[in-house]
Chains A and B, each alone.
Chain A
Amino acid sequence: AQKVTQAQTEISVVEKEDVTLDCVYETRDTTYYLFWYKQPPSGELVFLIRRNSFDEQNEISGRYSWNFQKSTSSFNFTITASQVVDSAVYFCALSAGTIQGAQKLVFGQGTRLTINP
């Protein structure tokens, strides 16, 4: 079975602070993909990043960076110099398995991030 845990339910920081959102996953499959999605107040889920289980290189995209560590089954997301527009609920998700139906996403419970001006 697959499972994603986002232990931080809510985080509140002041603008320009750095913030890290934690994600821990469980799967017995050796091939899997990890995702982060953002859900702003408008409600629509926005894709941020996808990583596969064979690539542990960290990734940076502007103020966003992701740290993937198979040794700890974690895929953490850091926002540098946070801005009010970053306020949203962030979901970590896992896709794994060996059959075609494995494309379904298993989501964590989400972390509500509030950036205060």
Chain B
Amino acid sequence: GAGVSQSPSNKVTEKGKDVELRCDPISGHTALYWYRQSLGQGLEFLIYFQGNSAPDKSGLPSDRFSAERTGGSVSTLTIQRTQQEDSAVYLCASSRTSGRAYMNEQFFGPGTRLTVL
């Protein structure tokens, strides 16, 4: 497709279970980002990938959160032992990377709404 896609669109899980969220970036975009949107915290940065490496993981809230990216394309965000405070919409974005590193706008996917019961 032409845009960023994410799956699943909705995920309901029980406290303590692990979940995996998937992101397919726009073809050719080398940079990929995960954000979280919740009522109390607004839009928060989680992690940034350039290719398959993650130079900035500063936004991951705890060691229960991890992410990987393979083949410079698809990324998976994993939350282990989910807690109720993990309930949020998880957004993925991608962008081109140019020599001028700060220029590029990020294109966002529709998000995965995670509900932890």
Contact = CB atoms under 8 A, between A and B. Distances in A.
Contacts of A93: 43
Interface of A: 31-33, 35, 37, 42-47, 50, 52, 91, 93, 95-97, 99-110
Contacts of B2: none
Q: Is the interface of B mostly helix, strand, loop or mixed?
A: strand
Interface residues of B, number: 28
22 contacts: A43-B111, A45-B91, A45-B93, A46-B108, A47-B106, A47-B108, A50-B103, A50-B105, A52-B102, A91-B43, A95-B102, A99-B55, A101-B56, A101-B58, A102-B102, A103-B31, A103-B104, A104-B48, A104-B56, A104-B59, A106-B45, A110-B42
Of B43, B102, B107, B109, the most chain A CB neighbours within 10 A belong to B102
A51 to B, nearest CB: 11
B89 A43 contact: yes
Contacts of A104: 33, 45, 48, 56, 58-59
Contacts of B95: 103
B105 A35 contact: yes
Given A45-B93, A45-B108, A100-B55, 12 more contacts: A32-B102, A33-B102, A43-B111, A50-B105, A101-B48, A101-B56, A103-B48, A103-B102, A103-B106, A105-B35, A107-B43, A110-B42
